[in-house]
Structure 1
Amino acid sequence: MKDLLSILREAPGSIRLEVSGEDLLTFSSHLINRAKEELATQVAEARKVRFLTKEQVKELCGVCDATLWHWNRKGYLKAVKIGNKIRYRTSDIQRILGERESK
Structure 2
Amino acid sequence: MTDLMQIISNGQANVRLEITGEDLHKFSNELITRAVSEVAAALKGAEEDRLLTRDEVKDMCGVCDTTLWLWNKRNYLKAVKVGSKVRYRFSDVRRILGKTDKSSSYGRE
* TM-score for both structures, normalised by structure 2: 0.47
* TM-score for both structures, normalised by structure 1: 0.49
Q: Larger helix proportion, structure 1 or 2? A: 1
Larger-Rg structure: 1
